[in-house]
Amino acid sequence: MLGQSDDWDLSCIQELGQLEKKVQDCCRCGLRGGCRGVVFGEGNPAARIVICGEGPGADEDRLGRPFVGKAGQLLDRILEACGFGRFDHVYILNTVKCRPPGNRAPSEEERSACRPNLDAQIRIIRPAIVVLLGATALQEFIGPGGRITRCRGSWLERDGIQIMPTYHPAALLRNPSLKADVWKDFKQVVYRYRELVDPGHYSAHC
């Protein structure tokens, strides 16, 4: 979906667990040397929704799990309001699997090096819906011209996958006024999930 690399061929891998073992050994960019380990992803491997963020932060690097810091706790509350469970309805991952120094945004070179890993995850999971959290995730899927302020809240489509860009939870912590927009976007995700996956999906809030 996002491009392939000749020197890191993952096309023969068909299971998420097998892919995780392979990616744990990835040293295709300098990020691996500056972090504790690879943060592969977490959730239900059969989920029809993928949540894609930017990259691991300090808490994620320490625990080896995505979205476990303050932004992750906010994401969990949003998912709960939608009737989605982290280990039931979604699979959570990032565009890069290793923490950038100082929690900076990953560079284009770093994202390019990790792109085959992300591509293989999406290929194996085969989600119906991908939620992109923030500008980095958006640009990884649609190109460097993607602007989250312009694209958020509007459905995109790539390779048969419905894509909803919205603000990253960390942006909501910095600017709580964005919460209303993100909730509108996630309500759209619930409605589309009912259309594509489970018409009886229950949420007390939408």
Full residue range of the structural domain in which residue 85 is found: 16-195
Has residue 201 been placed in a domain? no
Query: What does the block give as tokens for 8?
Result: 């890191």
pLDDT value at residue 166: 98
Has residue 10 been placed in a domain? no
Q: How many domains does the chain have?
A: 1
Each residue's pLDDT tens digit, 53-63: 999 999 999 99
pLDDT value at residue 8: 83
Has residue 204 been placed in a domain? no
Has residue 205 been placed in a domain? no
Query: What does the block give as tokens for 117?
Result: 């890993």
Bridge partners (DSSP) of residue 165 are 132
Has residue 2 been placed in a domain? no
Yes or no: say if 162 and 128 are a contact pair by the CB < 8 Å rule. Answer: yes
Work out the number of other CB atoms within 10 angstroms of the CB of residue 45: 13
Bridge partners (DSSP) of residue 92 are 42, 51
Determine phi and psi for 185, rounding to 5 degrees. -65, -40
Has residue 66 been placed in a domain? yes
- Residues in the chain with pLDDT values less than 70: 1-7
Work out the number of other CB atoms within 10 angstroms of the CB of residue 123: 16
Has residue 151 been placed in a domain? yes
Each residue's pLDDT tens digit, 82-109: 999 999 999 999 999 999 999 899 999 9
Has residue 203 been placed in a domain? no
Q: What CATH number corresponds to the domain at position 181? A: 3.40.470.10
